[in-house]
Structure 1
Amino acid sequence: MKAIILAGGRGKRLKPVTDYVPKPLVPIKNIPIIEWQIRYLKKFGINEVIICTGYKADMIESYLSMKKLGLKIKFSIEKTPLGTGGAIKKAGKLINEKSFFVINGDTITNIDLDKLASKKNAIAAIELRTKYGILETESDKIINFKEKKEITDMWMNAGIYHLQKDILKKLPIKGDIEKTVFPDYAKKGLLNTIKFKNVEWFSVDSFKDMEECSERVEKIIK
């Protein structure tokens, strides 16, 4: 199968680092995010990756051209930002298979893609996580204090999708899949999910995320 990596963002929250390198090349444990992602995809038998790039695309292409990662890499370059839906639609022209995976360009995880592939047009879901301390209360008294935790039975989009090729014609030329096709498919009963509990998952969107991910990444992607 093939996978699309959405790697065209500017990574504004990681400034000033992203003034000099694109977010996919921000290092986690001295290895760029995008290389960790490619290693992860390869573990599940992905033989070709299409990388949607825009900001500093030449730097990403130059870096990966020097690496031997054991799969085919192609690029879908956006001259102007297309949003997630537009990016997938453009990259989809390079896909002939009946289905494919999509992963956000800042996601590092060990979610089982084989399980996700068992359903058509499926979103990987993980239990909602809070970055803040949780107060347990009775009336106006605090009875317990817990550090950040997963919130049971509240599910969030993990930024990894298994999509059928026929979804491409529904996608906007410019716009986000999460705001256009997904709500429409959900209303029509055409959108599925696979729920993953007790998985490792990081969306690297801040320096704190980088620090926390660095502590775990070598165990997540072996």
Structure 2
Amino acid sequence: MKVILLSGGFGKRLKPLTDYLPKPLIPVCNYPIIEWQIKYFKKFGIKDVIVCAGYRADQVIKHLEGKNLGVRLEYSIETEPLGTAGAIKKASKYIDAENFFVANGDVLTNLDLNKLQVHPNSVAVIPLRTSFGIVHLDGSKVERFEEKPEMFDYWMNAGIYYLKKDILKHLPKNGNLEDTTFPGLARNGKLHAVKYGKVFWKSIDSYKDMEECESLINGNGYEKFISSK
């Protein structure tokens, strides 16, 4: 089983840090994002990692090759932005198994990958998380405040997929999965969603995200989770 890490983005919202450092190498609680991800997949027995690198790819490769992470690494280098679907298509020469995982390169989570393997072509989804507090009303009276609740009536893409190799022939050379391949699969009833409630999950796209992620890691014992056998 292999995983493709989509780690080729510019990280524009993390400037000026990303003027000198590619987003996958940005440290969160003293470890680069990509190391957290590799350790996470390794916990579930996945030791073949395909890194889709673009911006400052040489730095990403040099860093990983200088580490002993206990995984086999392959690299798919993008000379121009290809989008998530295009990046997977370019990396498809490394896919030799019937199924494989894909993860957005800025997501840290503890969701159970075993649940995702029930159906091929599955998307991990989590309750929509608001950035604001909610005020509960009784008419014009305030009943209570609820800070940043999870909205279980709405589900958001967690950025982790379990895909069947057959999907590769449906990928464009440039574009995003969510805009190109996934809508067609959904129309044909061939795309599944696996719901995860109350899990640790954070997408790192800003300095605020970095701070919140570090707080979540410390508060949820995430380092202990990925280090345990």
Q: TM-score, with normalisation over the residues of structure 2? A: 0.94
Task: Describe the superposition over 1:98-147 as per-residue Cα deviations: whole angstroms up to 9, x where unpaired.
Answer: 00000000000001111101111000011110111111123333322111
C-alpha offsets along residues 6-65 of structure 1, whole Å, 9 cap, x if unaligned?
A: 000000111111111010000001110000000001001112100101100000000001
CA distance in 2: counterparts of 1:57 and 1:164, whole angstroms: 27
Aligned to 1:79: 79
Give the whole-Å Cα distance in 2 for the aligned partners of 1:108 and 1:115. 17
Correspondence for 2:15: 15
- For 2:13 and 2:193, how far apart are their aligned partners in 1? 29
Q: Does 1:153 align with 2:153?
A: yes
Structure 1 residue 191 corresponds to structure 2 residue 191: yes
The range that moved more, 78-87 or 134-143, is 134-143
Stretches of structure 1 that go unaligned for 5 or more consecutive residues are none
Partner Cα separation in structure 2 for residue 140 and residue 180 of structure 1: 45
Partner of 1:178: 178
Q: Distance in 2 between matches of 1:90 and 1:201?
A: 27
* Structure 1 stretch displaced more, 24-33 or 144-153: 144-153
- Tell me the TM-score normalised to structure 1 length: 0.97
Partner of 2:4: 4
- Corresponding residue SS for 2:55: coil
Distance of 1:152 and 1:85 partners within structure 2: 28
Give SS of 2:173's match: coil
* 142-151 vs 7-16, greater mean Cα deviation: 142-151
Task: Measure the CA separation in 2 of the matches of 1:41 and 1:92.
Answer: 19
Q: CA deviation at 1:153?
A: 2.4
**Corresponding position of 2:118:** 118
Following superposition of structure 1 onto structure 2, how do residues 32-181 of structure 1 map, counting pairs within 5 Å? 32-181=32-181
Q: Deviation at 1:149?
A: 1.3
Rounded Cα–Cα distance in structure 2 between residues aligned with 1:217 and 1:142: 33
Task: Give the alignment's Cα RMSD to 1 decimal.
Answer: 1.0
**Cα distance in 1, alignment partners of residues 112 and 80 from structure 2:** 33
Distance 1:26 1:63 in 2: 12
Question: What percentage of aligned pairs have identical amino acids?
Answer: 55
What one-letter code is carried by the residue in structure 2 that aligns with 1:129?
A: R
The 2-side partners of 1:100 and 1:37 are apart by 15
Q: Residues 136-165 of structure 1, C-alpha deviation per residue, up to 9 Å, x if partnerless?
A: 123333322111110122111000000000
- Cα offset, 1:217, TM superposition: 2.5
